């Protein structure tokens, strides 16, 4: 059954998903806080700013008015950056019914509060119908219908299965999960490791360094996740290892691209500006660093990347510090 689906946020990922849903026959609408961007999309029939060359299609309409767009929407997809999820949800809540399904596709941890997106949603709209959609999924490939697999997670498995049916296509395979904590943390924390992978590449290091960074980075991700109530095996799946692989190895990854420039010697603020889009790992590194300290989990790679992007150390000193840490058993407590 086709549904009326509204997207809050017109970045590359939200646009790619909107196009996929529109091609499936759903009635899809998109709104963005940047009115100039909205007008460009309306005039061009595509998102030339963030997803050039991929037409929106006849079932996707772009709105200037959020209230008009959200009217009678059965599913609302929040595709704004993680640090703006709270404000986007607050702006939209008065136009949604209690039965509206909220699907979040942002990957991050809110700074200052250290809250995941589901925690923010539950704070603003208690008992809301919340689903997170995450996984190894570059917008550039989804928009061009390359085979992709993702996971939708909700505490309510029936709700997850409903969204699975809504989003799944011949090119986009959707799995379900009930571990919301693990899925959200996997999607958020891998961006920090991808920054590190980019820094390593920018410094001229090889495959050995990247393999070590990704593997030990996964150890950090899962340790923090388990401490916060996630299931360890979630991090071995699509939203953990799968997303880590694609984000650490692809030039589609804005986090890796940003890291490369930092590794080559560019200041982090200049690297972010040159990427031209939100680099979630920059924000998440701060939040994860604070969260790890709060709950008492050792995350040396995250700590090192946090120090680099805050100009507290340079990349070579950070690598030396990581490589000369106290000897440990691979599986012992702590990294």
Report, as residue numbers or ranges, the catalytic residues: 190
Cα maximum dimension of the chain: 60
Strands 129-134 and 148-153: antiparallel
Do 190 and 244 form a contact (C-beta atoms < 8 A)?
yes
**Among candidates 150, 84, 152, 139, which has minimal Cα distance to 117?**
84
Q: Is 153 helix (H, G, I), strand (E, B) or coil?
A: strand
How many Cα atoms are found within 13 Å in the side-chain-facing hemisphere of 68?
8
Strand ranges (DSSP E) for the chain?
4-8, 27-31, 46-47, 51-55, 60-63, 75-78, 101-104, 129-134, 148-153, 172-177
| b/e burial code for range 98-125 (CB count within 10 A of at least 16 → b) | eebbbbbbbbbbbeeebbbbbbbbeeeb
What backbone torsions phi and psi does residue 31 show, to the nearest 5 degrees?
Answer: -130, 150
What backbone torsions phi and psi does residue 224 show, to the nearest 5 degrees?
Answer: -65, -40
Determine the Cα angle at 142 with ends 241 and 109, to 5°: 50
Cα 262 from Cα 203, distance rounded (Å): 9
Helix, strand, coil tally for the chain in percent (to 5):
55, 15, 35
Instruction: Note the Cα 236 to chain centre separation in Å.
Output: 17
Strand partners, 131: 103
Measured CA to CA in angstroms, residue 210 lies from 101, 213, 221, 268, 275 at distances of 39, 5, 16, 20, 21
């Amino acid at each position: 059954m086709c549904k009326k689906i509204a997207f809050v946020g017109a970045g590359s990922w939200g646009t790619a998903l909107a196009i996929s849903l529109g091609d499936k026959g759903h009635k899809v609408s998109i709104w963005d806080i940047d009115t100039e961007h909205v007008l460009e999309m309306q005039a061009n029939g595509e998102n030339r700013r963030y997803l050039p060359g991929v037409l929106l299609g006849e079932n996707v309409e772009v709105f200037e008015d959020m209230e008009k767009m959200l009217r009678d929407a059965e599913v609302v997809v929040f595709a704004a950056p993680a640090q703006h999820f709270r404000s986007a949800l607050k702006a939209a809540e008065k136009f949604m019914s209690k039965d509206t399904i909220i699907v979040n596709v942002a990957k991050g941890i809110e700074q200052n509060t250290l809250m995941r997106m589901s925690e923010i949603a539950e704070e603003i709209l208690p008992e809301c119908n919340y689903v997170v959609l995450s996984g190894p999924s570059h917008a550039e490939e989804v928009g061009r219908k390359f085979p992709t697999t993702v996971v939708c997670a909700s505490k309510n498995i029936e709700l997850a299965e409903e969204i699975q049916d809504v989003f799944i296509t011949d090119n986009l395979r959707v799995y379900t999960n009930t571990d919301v904590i693990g899925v959200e943390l996997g999607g958020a924390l891998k961006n920090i490791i991808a920054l590190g992978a980019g820094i390593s590449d920018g410094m001229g290091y090889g495959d050995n360094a990247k393999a070590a960074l990704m593997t030990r980075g996964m150890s950090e991700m899962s340790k923090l996740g388990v401490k916060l109530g996630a299931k360890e095996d979630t991090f071995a799946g699509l939203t953990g290892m799968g997303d880590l692989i694609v984000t650490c190895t692809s030039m589609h990854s804005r986090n890796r691209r940003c890291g490369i420039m930092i590794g080559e010697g560019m200041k982090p603020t200049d690297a972010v500006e040159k990427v031209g889009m939100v680099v979630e790992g920059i924000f998440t590194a701060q939040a994860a660093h604070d969260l790890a300290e709060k709950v008492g989990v050792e995350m040396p790679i995250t700590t090192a990347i946090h120090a680099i992007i805050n100009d507290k150390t340079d990349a070579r000193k950070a690598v030396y510090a990581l490589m000369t840490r106290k000897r440990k058993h691979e599986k012992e407590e702590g990294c």
